[in-house]
Chains A and B, each alone.
Chain A
Amino acid sequence: MGACCTSPAPVAPNADVTDPPNRNGVPPFTTTASGGKGSKGSKPTPASTQDNQGRHWAENSANKKRAAKAPWQMKTDASAPKPSTDACEPCNDQGFDFAQTFPMFVMKMKTFMELKTMRSHEDMLAEGKVFEWTPSMGRVWFMSHQWTSFSHPDPAAEQLTVAQKLVKTIMDGKARSIFATEEEWQGYITREANRFLNFPELTAEQLAEDATKGYVWLDYASVPQASEAEEQRANAIDSIPYYVDHALVFLALVPRVEHKDLPGVFCDYKSWQSRGWCRLETQVHELRLSTNLEGEIMPGVGKIDVPRRPLIVHSADYATTYDLFDNFYMNWQRKNSVFTGEFACCRLGHKRTAGTLHAGSKAADKGGTIPCDKGRIKPLVRALWERKIAHMKTQHPMLQWMLLWRWVTHTELLMSENAEDDGSADDPALSTLEDIITKYNIGDDVWFGVVPRPPFKPGTHRSAEPLTPCSPLALPVPGRPSHVKGSVFLGAPLLHTVGAQGVVARLQGGPTLGNRAQRPDARVVRQMDGARKPKPTNLTLTVTVALTLVLSLTLSRTSPERSSRCP
């Protein structure tokens, strides 16, 4: 059981009236005694409900006994996805799709723009305004938000109005205007300003078309709300990864709106960020897969694209985002994991009393305890990480070197249930250097980003020859005992790192340690040499580089340690 179960967050005096389900006929978030929304005596004071900010739709599921189904399982048999045998060809993504246990109901953007208020799935379905989405339709805008009352997601249509105005701005080709800074705009259209990855840039015109021809997934309209639809809601929860995974735009609708049943309590970006279920949606989005494109980002390395960045809508004319780099370095911390987020079940101490949680359902009157949502969705989140990493391992070694470690290093951190660093998120599989090498698939090829000797076969690209102090790449490092002793393991991390720097330096056009190392299989470096001939006009730089290389080679070949130990 998770940490939430042993140390639940303080329960507000009226917290028992704040948990879920919305269902037809029985106003959710009410006690059977209080008689529903607005009942006197049941309204909590602002001071007592600081934690009771807007709900996430998934917490409306009463069917919490069932563990979430893992949406994706790693396949090890013959039916497993067959990765590309050629790094230049798009990899075969078959087998990486999430399971969908409830259809993805969407509405046309035009329908969304005409809404006066958010309407339930049943109403919209009856009028034919929501329908099942299929991949061929494309362009789904997944809208994540919090409910701002107990009985309706957006009773005053404040969130809806904000979303409609913002989408209208994008439709008009003025997407740039919703970002306050050029940096954020660049972050959105480039995903990560990185001259090596060089993702194709979005344009305001493209965004306008995506909005005009798009579809909207919105919880209240897309997921059954009826009390008898508990199983369907549970299936919809299991399908969250599928929904987010297939959405073109992930839009967090977070304008500052006062909760209608909790005076003084506001739903905003901060409260949205704090919700575990909202974090789950964000996590799914961040763990989406890249796609292969035509062309190369560097010789032998195919071009890829990554999902768009989240669009965080604060008001009708103001949205923010963060690029991949910022997300990786700033957001991915223990304190931001799904499991350190706020869950209603934890705040309630996992106690079910008559007339409280899931009031009106058969289970509600039995009393007792309710399972923790965290335990329920843990397999789901773990599967997200496994899928992402498995997919990246099918990609070119260069891309693995550049990107894979970002996800591998953060898997345990973002599965953590404790924001404090108590060591519980340390990977238990690691105890030796060999464990690290295994976990990170550290071979010369992956580390240095070079193209391995053909034919490239994913999973088998580790160098057959161990790195030794006599290897061509083993640069003598004066004063570094690890190298002098000739230990492979002592010198390897440094040498690998130096090599990585060298490759990067080469790509930047500077003199390289990788080149200096004269690595025989450094095909990328050599190709870069051919592709990047020095400009004739830059004579000074050319001479400097040449002298540096000659001097470096001379020093390395005449190193006393090397001379005495190597043939």
Chain B
Amino acid sequence: MMYMVAEGNLPMVQMLHEKHKVSLTLGYMWGITLLDFAAGKRAPP
């Protein structure tokens, strides 16, 4: 999850979360509260 958040790969984040029930909080490992999403890599849905 962390890597997919870092990639800004929303489809894979969704796949991990919805299909594999992976917690989105694991993405926090990448940065400061999903900073890269906030910074424009990928807007959360």
Q: Is the interface of A mostly helix, strand, loop or mixed?
A: helix
Within the assembled complex, what's the spacing in Å between the Cα atoms of A365 and B14?
A: 53
The answer to whether A334 touches B4 (Cβ under 8 A) is: no
Take A329-B35, A427-B7 as given contacts and tell me if A494 and B26 are in contact as well, using a CB distance cutoff of 8 Å: yes
Q: Decide yes or no whether A157 CB sits under 8 A from chain B.
A: no
Q: Decide yes or no whether A409 CB sits under 8 A from chain B.
A: yes
A residues 323-369 touching B (CB-CB < 8 Å)? 329-330, 333-335
Within the assembled complex, what's the spacing in Å between the Cα atoms of A493 and B23?
A: 9
Give how many B residues have a beta carbon under 8 Å from the other chain's beta carbons.
28
The answer to whether B11 touches A436 (Cβ under 8 A) is: no
The answer to whether B41 touches A430 (Cβ under 8 A) is: no
Bitwise, B5-44 to A at CB < 8 A (1) or not (0) is: 0111111100110001111001001011001100111110
Q: Decide yes or no whether A410 CB sits under 8 A from chain B.
A: yes
Within the assembled complex, what's the spacing in Å between the Cα atoms of A423 and B2?
A: 18
A492 CB to closest chain B CB (Å) equals: 9
Task: State which of B10, B16, B31, B40 has its C-beta within 8 Å of the C-beta of A493.
Answer: B16
A residues 394-410 touching B (CB-CB < 8 Å)? 405-406, 408-410
Within the assembled complex, what's the spacing in Å between the Cα atoms of A335 and B8?
A: 13
The answer to whether A409 touches B41 (Cβ under 8 A) is: no
Contacts A/B (CB < 8 Å), 24 sampled? A329-B31, A333-B36, A409-B3, A419-B40, A421-B43, A423-B10, A423-B11, A425-B8, A426-B9, A426-B12, A427-B7, A430-B9, A430-B12, A431-B15, A436-B4, A436-B16, A481-B21, A482-B22, A489-B20, A490-B22, A493-B20, A494-B22, A494-B23, A497-B1
The answer to whether B22 touches A413 (Cβ under 8 A) is: no
B33 CB to closest chain A CB (Å) equals: 12
Q: Decide yes or no whether A433 CB sits under 8 A from chain B.
A: yes
Q: Which 5 A-B pairs have the closest CB atoms?
A: A409-B6, A409-B7, A421-B42, A426-B9, A493-B22
B2 CB to closest chain A CB (Å) equals: 7
Bitwise, A413-434 to B at CB < 8 A (1) or not (0) is: 1000001010101110011110
Within the assembled complex, what's the spacing in Å between the Cα atoms of A412 and B8?
A: 10
The answer to whether A334 touches B6 (Cβ under 8 A) is: no
The answer to whether B6 touches A410 (Cβ under 8 A) is: yes
- List, in ascending order, chain B residues with CB within 8 A of A436's CB: 3-4, 12, 16
Q: Decide yes or no whether A318 CB sits under 8 A from chain B.
A: no
Q: Decide yes or no whether A96 CB sits under 8 A from chain B.
A: no
Within the assembled complex, what's the spacing in Å between the Cα atoms of A259 and B11?
A: 45
Within the assembled complex, what's the spacing in Å between the Cα atoms of A405 and B4?
A: 10
**Nearest-CB residue, chain B, relative to A435:** B12
- List, in ascending order, chain B residues with CB within 8 A of A489's CB: 20
Take A490-B20, A494-B23 as given contacts and tell me if A335 and B7 are in contact as well, using a CB distance cutoff of 8 Å: no
- List, in ascending order, chain B residues with CB within 8 A of A423's CB: 10-11
Q: Decide yes or no whether A440 CB sits under 8 A from chain B.
A: yes
A residues 492-537 touching B (CB-CB < 8 Å)? 493-494, 497, 500
Take A425-B8, A433-B20, A490-B21 as given contacts and tell me if A405 and B3 are in contact as well, using a CB distance cutoff of 8 Å: yes
Task: State which of B16, B22, B41 has its C-beta within 8 Å of the C-beta of A421.
Answer: B41
- List, in ascending order, chain B residues with CB within 8 A of A426's CB: 7-12
B41 CB to closest chain A CB (Å) equals: 6
